[in-house]
Chains A and B, each alone.
Chain A
Amino acid sequence: MCGIIGVASLRYNVASIIKSGLEKLEYRGYDSVGIASIASNTILIKKGKGKIHEVETRYGLSRVPGSIAVGHTRWATHGAPSDVNAHPHADCTGRVAVVHNGIIENYLELKEKLTNLGHVFKSETDTEVLAHLIEEFLKELKPFEAFRKAISMIRGSYAFAVLISNEPEKIFFARKDSPLVIGVGEGMNFIASDIPAFLEHTRRVIVVHDGELGYITPVEIYLENSKGERINYLERIIVVDWTPDMARKEGYPHFMIKEIHEQPRAIRDTIRGIDENYEKAVELMLDSEKIFVTAAGTSYHASLVFSLIMSKLAGKLVIPFISSEYLSYANSADENSLLIAVSQSGETIDTLMALREFKKRGARIIALSNIIGSAIPRESTLAIYTRAGPEIGVAATKTFTTQVTALTWLAINFSEKRGAINQIEAKSLYKVLRDIPEKTERIISMYEAWARSLGRDFANKNNAYYLGRGISLPIAMEGALKMKEIAYIHAEAYPAGESKHGPIALIEENFPVIFVSIEDRLERRLLGNIEEMKARGAYTIGVVPENSILISKLDNYVAMPRISEIFLPILSIIPLQLLAYYTAVSRGYDPDKPRNLAKTVTVE
């Protein structure tokens, strides 16, 4: 995901408008940023890696002259965040500048052709091919025809905004599968990924449909459909009436619920994104005597799941630790050690410190992050990524399930290569993994109402226990963390067997106890735990497999499908995420902005 914006104005200097528009689009990506403008028939480009305010300080984005300009805020997919990979991208002659949101699927093929024609590529991005394609066609065609022809050669998803210096008053655009809207102003027109980018200047909007392309000038809009027929855009103008903040939630009341619903897609993208670096990660794991895994918060729970699956599937000990506790573990690290550092943002300071300490002792490091080129991946031997897209809600949801997805793949692949499971077993596990996105979607739609209704009851509670055994325990811990973070209910997770060594003393009438049980062989042991809680008046809720023997004992339950247990952590957290969300909403709290918490913790 990236954000693009273009402004064509009669007035001079639109760079400051671009910059403030980019700030509104920053939720779409924020690893690098850039502006291109046309002044005196020449294209000027300022771009760089970093957040908008950082690049502004370095390069003075808002001081770029010109009344026609495009801007971009990036979320890296092809090529790490860097000054060179930042958009806009230019052709060889500097007469074309392109900003792009989406993925060009056939870029390697196009790049090869263009390179053979003598074009020189500066970046590793997919986007740059469009600039060179246009340059190539400009040799024979007028700018708009060249643009149209170049677009026809692109496969994939895109929203483009393009400057061509031969026609300095125009911004060309095209859309397929990536959002793009036109803002119709007075002596000033806009093109952007999302309405808030120009909402300060106009509320008159045209939504560009897939396959449409055209251009804007300060006083003119030209729009045509995929057949090349001109569209009367006046009929398409709508007047919007909403606040910039709400617009980004795409119809969901909160980012958190939007992100919960995005999980099927996020997991699917993560599975598709498993590349040769994942294979290399497994090689490193096979090559290491000791494996540690470290993280903080939700990522730590994903790490715990990993450690337990590694033990279960491969019989390999993986030592998990909370990253702020690194000093107590680093002493056992050496050249034969491997540290897997898990951090959504890639900037978590405790995890970064742990990484450095381990590195100092010669350990090799694998980073698992959601943000390409962030600090932790940068300082690691090898980086692999989840593809959850930006997560705005402070409480991690889709980044947890995608982390567990990535780590589960590593565990399966490791077990296969180590011979702990045979190829047939591995194959059937990969197959189940591919079906997880669809199962995730089903779990959401089956249990959202359950969570909403139970959330009402939870809203009146002050305490809750989350109990589990085996790989269910990290899920209980993660469920409890969600409940604490956003609903401010004191929720504690315990190994179920440990509950009678103390915690049970607190149980009273209607005290909620949530049991997570996803491992068959541990189920019978949980029966006793449920009985002893019920005997003291607890209200017992279960996250259990279909037809589980525990169901008859529980006051309330949700059922997980009968699939290989190593995949159930991904599915079984979802009802608990929903429960925390609906409890927070029912208590009147904003789940997106929990008190005292920040999305990325960069202080020790």
Chain B
Amino acid sequence: MKALVLAGGPGRRLFPISEEFPKPLVRIAGKPLVDYVIDSLRAIGIHSISVIVSNREVAEHIISSYGVEVDVIEQRGDSIEDAILSAKNVFEHEKYFLMAYGDIIAPIEMYRILLETYNASRLPVFSVVPLEEQETYGVAVIRDGKIHKIYEKPLEKVESVYVLAGAYILPGEVFELVDKQNSLTEALNTLVSAGTVRASLWTGDWVDIGYPWDIISAIYVIFSNLKTSNISTKAKISPEAVIEGPVIIEENAFIDHYAVIKGPAYIGREAFIGKGAFIREYSCVEEKAIVGAFCEIKRTSLQPEATVGSYTLVTDSVLGSGAVLEARVTILNKLPEDVKIARLPPLQGILRRYKKLGAYVAPSSRVRAGSVIGPAILVDRQGQLYDILQK
């Protein structure tokens, strides 16, 4: 079976992390987002994969990582319908094909079970996952193991708790339907109304990377299976550094004296952890990112080449590629209890559990030394702040 991966589009919800930066290349524990789904599909034995992209860098990345094994199709237009129709010529004659969103973090098993449900039924199949919060997702109503109806981001409460997990087995005729109806949801509902679309239930971990803080939830998923440490022999680690819990430390990472790393955590290639810095649970310091002396980092993703100046406190945050927090920045993270924000990462705290969000900083942006910002702040490329709670 052939597979189509959707990795185009502007990634607007991920703003400011996606500001002039392609979402599929956002790194999570050393791996670009789009690679997660491609690798999963290859692992279940799908070798004919086409990825729809709308960005040259993404195309180059895929070609250089996977060579001839994965095709790249250029997306024409911005919408999801445009994306799908870009693959029409290549896929419309397939009896069935697998379609996967390129921004899902889930174990391989989810795709395997999808394929298995198809193999057992030879009918279209949509993967679904039970999720309480549905407002920002596509929702599926299921009756008797079959998809009864789907809704895209329903405004009213739909009586169902299954969201579409971004993986489908579809018949080739879906292109004709999307073309005619100019709406993916309508086209899928047309298939559904024939009464033959099966639901494949996924009960394990699953994150759709939409909002910047979904990256933190994704780190939880990836680390949930991290039971042992993997430290490159080529990492340069001071004998005075303390490393506890499962960690991945890549080659040529540099960890200075008295740094403390408390896993689960990821330190990428050539990353620098300054003297006395404290890297806490669920942090990813990606390739060539720099953490200055005496910083504290927790539940945070530092994208490649991001810099955190000395004496800085960063929690529940994402720094875009090349972003800089100058020295002595403090990011506050505790949200009022009654605040309602979509897709909050797992609650945090030792005795009481709190809602927490920090700062989400655009690639190559700068936050001035000594700033105290947060909670729940977006920082764009010009350094302009946006309060998420006011949006």
Q: Which residues of A contact B (CB under 8 A)?
A: 179, 195, 205, 207, 238, 240-242, 246-247, 249-254, 257, 261, 264, 441-442, 445-453, 456, 509-510, 581-582, 585, 588
Tell me, in angstroms, the Cα distance from A566 to B346 when the chains sit together: 38
- Least CB separation from B206: chain A residue: A452
- Other-chain contact of B119, A242, A249, A252, A261 (Cβ < 8 Å): A242
List 25 contacting pairs A-B, 8 Å CB cutoff, sorted by A. Answer: A205-B119, A207-B120, A207-B121, A240-B119, A241-B115, A249-B113, A251-B113, A251-B114, A251-B200, A252-B113, A252-B201, A253-B109, A253-B201, A253-B202, A257-B201, A264-B144, A441-B144, A445-B161, A446-B159, A449-B131, A449-B132, A449-B162, A509-B351, A581-B203, A588-B225
In the complex, per-residue mask of B103-127: 1 if CB is within 8 Å of any chain A CB, else 0: 0000001001111110111100100
Tell me, in angstroms, the Cα distance from A261 to B198 when the chains sit together: 14
Tell me, in angstroms, the Cα distance from A195 to B201 when the chains sit together: 20
Q: A441-B143, A581-B203 are in contact. Are A253 and B113 (CB under 8 A)?
A: yes
Does B44 have its Cβ within 8 Å of any Cβ on chain A?
yes
- Other-chain contact of B116, A242, A264, A450 (Cβ < 8 Å): A242
- Least CB separation from A446: chain B residue: B161
Measured CB to CB, the closest approach of chain B to A555, in angstroms, equals 12
Does B177 have its Cβ within 8 Å of any Cβ on chain A?
no
Flag if A242 contacts B201 (CB, 8 Å).
no
Measured CB to CB, the closest approach of chain B to A238, in angstroms, equals 7
B residues less than 8 Å from A450 (CB atoms): 132, 161
Measured CB to CB, the closest approach of chain B to A247, in angstroms, equals 7
Measured CB to CB, the closest approach of chain A to B366, in angstroms, equals 37
Does B145 have its Cβ within 8 Å of any Cβ on chain A?
yes
Measured CB to CB, the closest approach of chain A to B141, in angstroms, equals 8
A residues less than 8 Å from B113 (CB atoms): 246, 249, 251-253
B residues less than 8 Å from A582 (CB atoms): 203
Beta-carbon contacts under 8 Å, B207-256 to A = 224-225
Measured CB to CB, the closest approach of chain B to A198, in angstroms, equals 14
Flag if A447 contacts B116 (CB, 8 Å).
no
Closest 5 CB pairs of A and B: A251-B117, A449-B161, A449-B130, A448-B130, A241-B45
- Least CB separation from A248: chain B residue: B120
Measured CB to CB, the closest approach of chain A to B86, in angstroms, equals 27
- Least CB separation from B117: chain A residue: A251
- Other-chain contact of A445, B45, B114, B115, B142 (Cβ < 8 Å): B142
Tell me, in angstroms, the Cα distance from A428 to B141 when the chains sit together: 30
A residues less than 8 Å from B201 (CB atoms): 251-253, 257, 261
Given contact pairs A261-B201, A449-B132, a sample of 19 additional A-B residue pairs in the complex whose CB atoms are under 8 Å apart = A207-B120, A238-B119, A246-B113, A247-B116, A247-B119, A251-B114, A253-B109, A253-B113, A253-B202, A253-B203, A257-B203, A445-B159, A446-B159, A452-B130, A509-B351, A510-B351, A581-B203, A585-B204, A588-B224
Measured CB to CB, the closest approach of chain A to B21, in angstroms, equals 31
Flag if B115 contacts A242 (CB, 8 Å).
yes
Measured CB to CB, the closest approach of chain B to A208, in angstroms, equals 10
Flag if B161 contacts A447 (CB, 8 Å).
yes
Measured CB to CB, the closest approach of chain A to B182, in angstroms, equals 30
Flag if B160 contacts A445 (CB, 8 Å).
yes
A residues less than 8 Å from B224 (CB atoms): 588
In the complex, per-residue mask of B39-72: 1 if CB is within 8 Å of any chain A CB, else 0: 0000011000000000000000000000000000
A residues less than 8 Å from B159 (CB atoms): 442, 445-446
B residues less than 8 Å from A452 (CB atoms): 130-132, 203
- Least CB separation from B118: chain A residue: A251
B residues less than 8 Å from A257 (CB atoms): 201, 203
Tell me, in angstroms, the Cα distance from A405 to B320 when the chains sit together: 57
Measured CB to CB, the closest approach of chain A to B201, in angstroms, equals 6
Flag if A448 contacts B204 (CB, 8 Å).
no
Flag if A250 contacts B160 (CB, 8 Å).
no
In the complex, per-residue mask of B70-103: 1 if CB is within 8 Å of any chain A CB, else 0: 0000000000000000000000000000000000
Measured CB to CB, the closest approach of chain A to B97, in angstroms, equals 13
Most buried by A among B109, B162, B201, B202: B201
Tell me, in angstroms, the Cα distance from A446 to B144 when the chains sit together: 14
In the complex, per-residue mask of B148-172: 1 if CB is within 8 Å of any chain A CB, else 0: 0000000000011110000000000
Tell me, in angstroms, the Cα distance from A449 to B203 when the chains sit together: 9
A residues less than 8 Å from B125 (CB atoms): 251
Measured CB to CB, the closest approach of chain B to A236, in angstroms, equals 8
Most buried by B among A238, A261, A448: A448
Measured CB to CB, the closest approach of chain B to A86, in angstroms, equals 27
Tell me, in angstroms, the Cα distance from A246 to B351 when the chains sit together: 41
Measured CB to CB, the closest approach of chain B to A295, in angstroms, equals 29
A residues less than 8 Å from B143 (CB atoms): 441
Tell me, in angstroms, the Cα distance from A406 to B45 when the chains sit together: 46
A residues less than 8 Å from B131 (CB atoms): 449, 452-453
Tell me, in angstroms, the Cα distance from A588 to B203 when the chains sit together: 12
Q: A252-B201, A253-B202 are in contact. Are A453 and B119 (CB under 8 A)?
A: no
Flag if B132 contacts A250 (CB, 8 Å).
no
- Other-chain contact of B198, A207, A247, A249, A251 (Cβ < 8 Å): A251
A residues less than 8 Å from B109 (CB atoms): 253
B residues less than 8 Å from A238 (CB atoms): 119, 122
B residues less than 8 Å from A449 (CB atoms): 130-132, 161-162
Measured CB to CB, the closest approach of chain B to A101, in angstroms, equals 15
Tell me, in angstroms, the Cα distance from A264 to B142 when the chains sit together: 13
Tell me, in angstroms, the Cα distance from A280 to B116 when the chains sit together: 45
Flag if B204 contacts A246 (CB, 8 Å).
no
B residues less than 8 Å from A205 (CB atoms): 119
A residues less than 8 Å from B119 (CB atoms): 195, 205, 238, 240, 242, 247
Measured CB to CB, the closest approach of chain B to A315, in angstroms, equals 39
- Least CB separation from A207: chain B residue: B122
Tell me, in angstroms, the Cα distance from A134 to B225 when the chains sit together: 58
Tell me, in angstroms, the Cα distance from A250 to B132 when the chains sit together: 25
A residues less than 8 Å from B145 (CB atoms): 261
- Least CB separation from A455: chain B residue: B203
Tell me, in angstroms, the Cα distance from A585 to B109 when the chains sit together: 13
Tell me, in angstroms, the Cα distance from A251 to B201 when the chains sit together: 7
Measured CB to CB, the closest approach of chain A to B146, in angstroms, equals 12
Tell me, in angstroms, the Cα distance from A456 to B207 when the chains sit together: 14
A residues less than 8 Å from B141 (CB atoms): 445
A residues less than 8 Å from B161 (CB atoms): 445-450
A residues less than 8 Å from B112 (CB atoms): 242, 246
A residues less than 8 Å from B351 (CB atoms): 509-510
Tell me, in angstroms, the Cα distance from A261 to B204 when the chains sit together: 16
- Least CB separation from B140: chain A residue: A445
B residues less than 8 Å from A261 (CB atoms): 145, 201
- Least CB separation from B201: chain A residue: A252
Measured CB to CB, the closest approach of chain B to A509, in angstroms, equals 6
Most buried by B among A241, A451, A456, A588: A241
Q: A247-B116, A261-B145 are in contact. Are A585 and B203 (CB under 8 A)?
A: yes
Tell me, in angstroms, the Cα distance from A232 to B208 when the chains sit together: 41
Measured CB to CB, the closest approach of chain A to B102, in angstroms, equals 22
Flag if B116 contacts A246 (CB, 8 Å).
yes
B residues less than 8 Å from A509 (CB atoms): 351
B residues less than 8 Å from A446 (CB atoms): 159, 161
Tell me, in angstroms, the Cα distance from A155 to B200 when the chains sit together: 31
Tell me, in angstroms, the Cα distance from A31 to B44 when the chains sit together: 36
- Least CB separation from A257: chain B residue: B203
B residues less than 8 Å from A246 (CB atoms): 112-113, 116
Most buried by B among A247, A253, A257: A253
B residues less than 8 Å from A251 (CB atoms): 113-114, 116-117, 120-121, 125, 198, 200-201
Flag if B115 contacts A250 (CB, 8 Å).
no
Measured CB to CB, the closest approach of chain B to A449, in angstroms, equals 3
B residues less than 8 Å from A207 (CB atoms): 120-122
- Least CB separation from B127: chain A residue: A251
Tell me, in angstroms, the Cα distance from A129 to B81 when the chains sit together: 55
Tell me, in angstroms, the Cα distance from A447 to B130 when the chains sit together: 9
A residues less than 8 Å from B45 (CB atoms): 241
Tell me, in angstroms, the Cα distance from A252 to B127 when the chains sit together: 11
Tell me, in angstroms, the Cα distance from A252 to B128 when the chains sit together: 11
Q: A247-B116, A450-B132 are in contact. Are A253 and B162 (CB under 8 A)?
A: no
